[in-house]
Amino acid sequence: MPLLLTLLAGCAADPEPVEAPPPPPVIEMGTGEWDWEPLEPGQEIDVIQGPQGGFHLLGSVRVKGLEAGTANDLTDPNNPTTQFWVVHNGENLSPGSRFIQGLDPTPEEDGAYSHQMVGRFIIMNILADDELDGEEVTFGVSVDDVNGERVETEMTLTTVPHPLNL
């Protein structure tokens, strides 16, 4: 009997709860000028001619699980870096499409993601929209936050000239 009492006396009453690690960050790429528009692999995306004669795609992104920074303060040191790319025949047509700015909260009805960036011009190094008429491109985006977290995604899309291009 003394052995049993000794064993019970050495047991803790309740173990300390172990906090579960946070879920991994998630990302979704889209398009849209003013409002979020989802993209699906293989779908068409417009090559838009801008007012200065250049060409761009519209890129949007949604994330969850990253430090979003402050959307209305470009100097916030916690703002993430978002990088878009458009690759055609092995060449990145948009090497300058990098944004360091905070992300906006997503609308409440879009609960799978917490923050978004909508309607960024992904300026491409092409001379005419017909260079990409009906062509497959790899359109991608990455987001790096100040904590070293990184998420990225890409998909193959088919580019077409916007109907209002000159």
pLDDT in tens, 123-161: 999 999 999 999 999 999 999 999 999 999 999 999 999
Mean pLDDT of the chain: 92
Residue 110 confidence (pLDDT): 73
Q: Residue 119: CB partners within 8 Å, gap ≥ 6? A: 32, 33, 34, 58, 60
Cβ atoms of 159 and 165 within 8 Å: the answer is no
**Residue predicted with more confidence, 4 or 109:** 109
CA distances from 140 to 85, 97, 125 (A): 5, 11, 16
pLDDT in tens, 1-12: 444 444 445 555
Fold of 25-161: Immunoglobulin-like (2.60.40)
Whether residue 102 has pLDDT greater than 70:
yes
pLDDT in tens, 13-40: 667 888 888 889 999 999 999 999 999 9
Average the pLDDT over 103-118 and give the result: 91
In terms of pTM, does the model score above 0.75? yes
Give the domain ranges of the chain.
Answer: 25-161
Whether residue 51 has pLDDT greater than 50:
yes
Residue 20 confidence (pLDDT): 86
